[in-house]
Amino acid sequence: MANLFSLILVLATLFTGIIWALDRFIWAPKRQLKIDAAAASAGGQVDAKTLEAVAPQPSWVESTSSMFPVIAIIMVFRSFIYEPFQIPSGSMMPTLLVGDFILVEKFAYGLRDPVFRHKMVETGEPERGDIVVFKYPPQPSVDYIKRVVGMPGDTVRYSYNKQICIVPQGGTACKPILMTHMQDSDFVQGRTRLVQFTEQLGAVQHNILVHPLEPNQTLKYQYHSSSDMAEWVVPEGQYFVMGDNRDNSADSRYWGFVPEANLVGKAVGIWISFEFERSANSVLPSWIPTGVRFSRIGGIN
């Protein structure tokens, strides 16, 4: 759907731009010649407004030409600078909540054409801890949002006690990702209150949620039977991503790695946040917000 909208936006920009150019450089000069000829014939006895009626600008040309700069600005901003996204699920709680509307920095990982997504200019690469929006590898028409955990060449290990350990490319020692400041959270999964930890990924400190039950009751992937630990080696040009809601996130543990070509941009801020909580007997449709969480507006980690 996002690619279809991008294609429509590009085509609309091209169409309105062509009409604008034709009118400015071909049609308008021809109309002006007719007006000048009529003015010469009238010997200066006719006012300018009346002369314009001799060769008026068609209304559809006027409307289309005036739309061109607006559509062009929207296309450039959305394709190369920032694009808004909505958080549809709780996989990134507590960092991002359902109802958060975020801004994604499109130029963070390279400038790409808006339709075929070929990289035109290199501007940077993801860093460990970045929150990235990307095309879901099994279904590229769908956008996903997760946090970068494993970099190209890393060996990522995830143990039964929900501890991440990373062997960087070229290294031999596995460095645990520290989980500190354990506390009960306000979030519930089923009937169980989730536990919140603070985690340090690279230079980024953020909060994560874990289910307090044993992993065989909450995790869906298969551990290596000999070590109770799952292990992945991240290929070159790809990334290992996870949700901050660790036991309620479909991420690289389940469907694999994110190719660099699938990256859309870096999530940098929340521009508005709606809440949708309502009583069971509410007559309002579920998509209508019940309030605005102004305290959530701002940058994200």
Per-residue pLDDT of the chain (301 residues; tens, 9 = 90+): 556 777 888 899 999 999 999 999 999 999 989 888 877 887 767 777 777 777 888 999 999 999 999 999 999 998 899 999 999 899 999 999 999 999 999 999 999 988 888 889 999 999 999 999 999 999 998 999 999 999 999 999 998 788 999 999 888 899 999 899 999 999 988 888 999 999 999 899 999 999 887 554 444 455 544 557 789 999 999 999 999 999 999 999 999 999 999 999 999 999 999 998 877 777 778 778 888 999 999 989 7
Residue pLDDT, tens place only, 88-98:
899 999 999 99
CA–CA dist 64, 16 (Å, integer): 6
DSSP for residue 80: I
Other beta carbons within 10 angstroms of residue 156's beta carbon come to: 23
Helix (H, G, I), strand (E, B) or coil at 67: helix
Helix (H) or strand (E) holding 255: helix 252-255
Helix (H, G, I), strand (E, B) or coil at 34: helix
CA–CA dist 148, 174 (Å, integer): 17
Q: Is 273 a catalytic residue?
A: no
Q: Is 175 a catalytic residue?
A: no
Helix (H, G, I), strand (E, B) or coil at 54: coil
Catalytic residue chosen out of the listed positions 6, 79, 91, 252: 91
Catalytic residue chosen out of the listed positions 146, 249, 252, 266: 146
CA–CA dist 27, 9 (Å, integer): 25
Which residues, in sequence order, are CB contacts of 245 under 8 Å at separation 6+?
90, 91, 92, 93, 94, 187, 194, 208, 209
120 neighbors 113 (Cβ within 8 angstroms): yes
The strand pair at 100-105 and 175-176 is best described as unpaired
Give the distance between the most distant pair of CA atoms in the chain: 100
Q: Which domains does the chain have, with CATH numbers?
A: 2-81 (no CATH), 87-279+288-299 (2.10.109.10)
